[in-house]
Structures are given as structure tokens and as C-alpha cells.
Amino acid sequence: MKANLILFMYALTSLYMYTNKLYAQEVKPKMDTSKMIGKALKSQIETSPCLGSTSEKSSDLKWLPILIKKKEMIEFHPETKDEELLEEIKFGKQKNKIESKGSIEGSTLKSTPVIGANWLGNLNDGSTPMDNHMAISNNGIIVSVSNSILEIDDSQGTLLYYNDFVSFFNVSSIQNVCDPVVIYDNQQDRFILFFQECSGTSANSKLCICFSKSNNPANDGWWKYAITGNPLNDGSWFDYPKMGISTNELYISGNLFYESGGYNESVLYQINKASGYSGSGLDWNYWYNISGSPFTLLPLSYGQNGGYGPGCYLVSTEHTGGSVIHLYDLTNDLHNNPSLNHYVINTSSYSPAADANQLGSSDLLDNGDSRTQSGFYLNGLIHFVFHSDINNGWNGINYNRLNVNTLTNTSATFGLSGTFDYSYPSIASFGTNVNDKSVMISFLRSGSSIYPQCNVVNCDDNMNWSASTVVKEGESFVDILSSTTERWGDYTGACRQYNASNPKIWVNGMFGNIDNVWDTWIAEIGVNSSGLNELSKENKVKIYPNPVIQQYHLEFESKQAENIEVMILSTEGKLIQNLYSGMTFIGKNAFSFNQGALETGEYFLIVKTNQNQIRINEKIIIVGNH
């Protein structure tokens, strides 16, 4: 009996230790409520049913024409608050923006970022901007999103899944999709994916939320949900999402706009994660009439392994400029009577900058405003970034560390006024432990002497900056819209790989491609080559879907125009079919083929130049019915 009791107690202790390891969290510090400015109102808890799952291993995009050179471009219109005031500020600064040549980035930190594995990511789907974002799991599965393409790769750049969101979600009422965001939950070893129905009407506005069934959703699929984007039932629609997680919950914020026109208010959804991971009814509420009237409210996830809670922190900046930061403390989890408390913290003055130039075109790139872009919470500090005027109308990174115990903020800026604009930053922890405040920041950069590119910079524990590193150089200027201002942003992706032996992050950012439109680039970042993959896929090949059922598509990059042949060979090397003979474009090349009379089995797809060099040699599997 005593032995059984000992075994029972040992089992309980082991379960307790396992559970606390799995759900390890930093308890949020108690806030000084005497300094609270105001609160918010909350709704009743609601439950949304699961809409089923997506479990297919691969899916096909809509039919693509052979050799895509240009597509019809769809603009997702920027929605903002105080739009006339913002334009007046930016126009005034544009007139006084003076270029100076010969400047270099100042830096005191020698650990300049190093690029590891990198490759062509989500291709342009006919929209602008790309609204790209990404996350990576502990086992190296990368979920990369853009308007409106879902791509899943492994850390070697192998394409595991590729689909448009409408086909992926497969719900008849969801036909216009934009603004995707993805997050990796390192405590649960799962992904959470968000995108919105964006037709701009209150009746159709939906928050589409997917919870992966495992750490590899390319194989195992997702549970899917849809929540109203008109929670106040007042003719509004939801736009510009931000997403974060705590140990137990998911948070999605956004800005509501009236269907008849004009800004309404910002809202925050508080959602129970466990029900989403199990595919059961999703419990949630929303917060509204939020003190301080924030425009774009950023929920903060934990910056390293583990999590924090209960509840979460959120920050917001003044998008047209100011000298305060708005801090919000969501005090508890959904079912434990939380409140949303508002604090105001003084900081250095900031304001929006003028729009950016680009080489080869008079079209400007829209620098947006000074709304909060990206951040995380770690060990009593909130790290967050946005872009702002750093001097004479030039845009730079504005990096902040907000201490939740003392309610003070420390900020530093990074940029190169007079030469380049640095915009749309995203931040990830680069510390070796929770006490190390080092970060990596990815961002977009452009100027009259360079094409639009994406970069990354390191900022250490003492707020010393490295020089920035180019992740992907622009190949040409961007010329999509009929107006003289091109969309740029609206955000970009950076994610820590939590279990890496040495700190490293992964980023995806936009660059101007040779077709004068946007594409994205995925890259692994460290400060030395230790632990990084020695891989660069300048000519990344995509063949999808593979296995092939009916049609299949080949995409690759070419640095020069050249004659090629595309052939199908048997596994014994026998020519089965010559699929294409002709010239490639400089830049992206895209082909579509039918499986034709190919029998079920394995084949090789070969691309050969007229110098008899093998450019591509990839295995394909035919599984279609004949």
C-alpha cells in the first residue's frame, strides 16, 4: 500500500513538472493601478463553432498562364484615422526633404547580422502591398504568408505546401482575403494563422482563424473558425490586424471602419487557445470603447521559450505623432473576470516622415504613419518598434524598451537621413537568456540610389547598433498603381527560432523584382555562421502540386534571358516529352503544364540551357487518374 502511494505521488509530481514545463510562464508583474488612466468595456463571452478542418497535403492554385510576365494588380486601400491631417504632415515634410550623398550608417556594435539559408518566398499574387508575415517552429517548419498566398517550407527551402487562402479556407462566404498574420506557439508547438475577409462590408467582414493540428500543418492541416468583424453590429468592418498570445490565450486587435466611410474605433478580441487546438467551440469576447482611443493596438507575445500571463500587455503609439506611449494591461484570462487598464508613458517626441524615393522611378513609396508595428514582452520589458521621422523628413526605425514596473520608456532610432528611408520594421528577441535584451530588427529600405530592398540590423543589450545587412537587394523599381505613390509595407515578418542552440531569427520582407512588382524573400539571420544553414537559393525552384493530379506548375528565377528546354524524363533517363523550348525572362518565370498522358509513377523534370547545362533536375510524382 505504501509503495503504491509512493508511486502515485511520484506520478503526480512527474505530471506536475511536465505540465509546468509545457505551460511554463512568466507571471506578469502587478501594475500600479493608482497611475491608471482609464479602462475599456467588454462583451459577453461567445462561442463560435469549428468549421471543420483543412487536411490536404497539397493543393493547386488556379490555372496560371504560361510565362507570367505581368498580372492585373489589385490595390488593398490603406484605411487610416485622421487621413487629411496625416497627408498634410507628410506633404509638408516632402517639400523640405533634402538628399545628401556620401553618408554611411553609424554603428558601435561589431556583430553585424549574417545571412544563412535564404530563398525566394511568396510570389506576387496580383496585389499590393504584399502584407508578408512568417513564423517558424522548433523543428524548422516555416509558415510564410502574403496577400493572399499561404506557403509552407522547411528550413532548407523545400516547398511543402502552396495555396491561395480562398481555396485553402474553402468556405463559400469567404471570397476576398487579405492581411494575413501567423504566429508560432512554442509552448504548444503549434501555429495560429489569421487572415480577414476584406470586401469592406460589415455583413461580410470576418476574422478567419486557423489552429494547426501539429507542428507540421503541411501534413496534418488546420482547424478553422470565422468570427464576425462587425462585433458592435453598427455597420463596421475590421481592418489592419495585430496578433499575440499568452500562455492560455490568443489576442487579435484591429481597427473598425464604417461601411459608409470613416474610422469608428479599435477593438480587441480575447480568445481561448485550448478550444482552437482541439477543434471544439471557440470561446471569445471583445473589448471596445477602449480608453485613449488607440489606433492600431499591438498585443504582445513572449519573446523567448515559454510564455507569460495571465492576460497580456498591449501598446499603441500616436499614428500622427506625439510624445507618449499608450500601455494596456489585460489583467486576467477570459473566464477570470479580466479588465483592460490604460496607462500613459512619456517618451521622446516622434512623428511620421515623408514618403520614400526609389531608383529609376519618380513614383514614391508610401511610408504610412507612426503606428506601432511589432513587439514582444520579456522579463519586465516590452520591446517594440515603429518607423518615424529621424531628421528632416527621413524615415528610420524607432526602437523602444518600456519597463512595466517603473512605467518608463527608453527609445533609440536607427537610420540614414539624407540617403535612405528605413520603414516597416519587425522585431524579435536575439538574447541568449531572458536577461539579455538584444534584438534583431528586419525592415524595408529604399532611396533614389537603390531599388526597394529588405534589410536587418542588430541592437545589443546596451542599445548599441550594428551596421545593417542587406537580406535581399531590389532588382528594379516598383510601378504597379496608376498613382504617383506606390504602396509599401504594410508590415513585414521576423520570428525567433526558439530552440536554436545559438540565437537566430528568420525574416521575410518585400523587394522590388525585375517585373516592377513586389516579391518576398525568406532568410535565416545570425551574427556569425555558427548554427546557420549554408544555403542560398537565388534560383529557387517551385514545382506544385507534387504529387501531380492534373495540372502542375513550374516557377524559377533567371538572372539572364536565355534559351532553355523543359523536358520530362523517365527515371531511366529516357525522354518522355519536350514541354517547352524558348527564351526565359530575366527574373521570375512561371509555366503551367497538364500531366497529359503520363502514367502514374515517378519522373524527372529537366530544364536545360542551349549550352547543354542542366539548370533544374527535380523529381515529380504523377498520381492522377487516366
- C-alpha 502/C-alpha 529 separation (Å) is 10
More confident residue, 58 or 194: 194
Helices (H), 229-384: 273-278
Q: What is the pLDDT at residue 104?
A: 60
Q: What is the pLDDT at residue 106?
A: 63
Q: What angle do CA 376, 341, 82 make, to 5 degrees?
A: 75
How far, in whole angstroms, is CA 269 from its chain's centroid? 19
How far, in whole angstroms, is CA 138 from its chain's centroid? 17
Find the length of the chain. 626
Poorest-confidence range of 45-54, 73-82, 207-216, 613-622? 73-82
The amino acid at 361: S
Query: For residue 453, what pLDDT band results from cuts at 50, 70 and 90?
Result: very high
Q: What is the pLDDT at residue 622?
A: 82
- C-alpha 54/C-alpha 213 separation (Å) is 10
DSSP state of 169: H
pLDDT in tens, 521-548: 999 999 877 667 765 444 467 777 777 7
Count of other CB atoms within 10 angstroms of residue 125: 18
Residue given cell 525592415 in the structure block:
443
Is 57 a residue whose pLDDT tops 50?
A: no
- C-alpha 112/C-alpha 503 separation (Å) is 14
Pairing of the two strands 127-128 and 74-75: parallel
Do 585 and 67 touch, CB atoms closer than 8 A?
A: yes
Is 66 a residue whose pLDDT tops 50?
A: no
Is 9 a residue whose pLDDT tops 50?
A: no
Is 20 a residue whose pLDDT tops 60?
A: no
pLDDT in tens, 264-279: 999 999 999 999 999 9
Query: For residue 161, what pLDDT band results from cuts at 50, 70 and 90?
Result: confident
Distances (CA, A) of 372 to 91, 266, 385: 21, 13, 6
pLDDT, average across residues 407-430: 95
More confident residue, 343 or 607: 343
CB contact set of 446 (below 8 Å; sequence gap of 6+): 356, 357, 358, 365, 420, 421, 423, 452, 453, 474, 488
Is 412 a residue whose pLDDT tops 80?
A: yes
Quick one: 46 exposed, middle or buried, by C-beta within 10 A (0-12, 13-18, 19+)? Answer: middle
Q: What is the pLDDT at residue 540?
A: 62
Is 379 a residue whose pLDDT tops 80?
A: yes
Query: For residue 422, what pLDDT band results from cuts at 50, 70 and 90?
Result: very high
Question: Cα-atom radius of gyration of the chain, to the nearest Å?
Answer: 25
Query: For residue 143, what pLDDT band results from cuts at 50, 70 and 90?
Result: very high
Domains of the chain, with CATH numbers? Answer: 106-537 (2.130.10.10), 542-622 (2.60.40.1930)
Q: What is the pLDDT at residue 499?
A: 83
| Mean of all residue pLDDT scores within the chain | 86
Closest CA relative to residue 208, chosen from 259, 171, 249, 263: 171
Q: What is the pLDDT at residue 200?
A: 84
Query: For residue 197, what pLDDT band results from cuts at 50, 70 and 90?
Result: very high
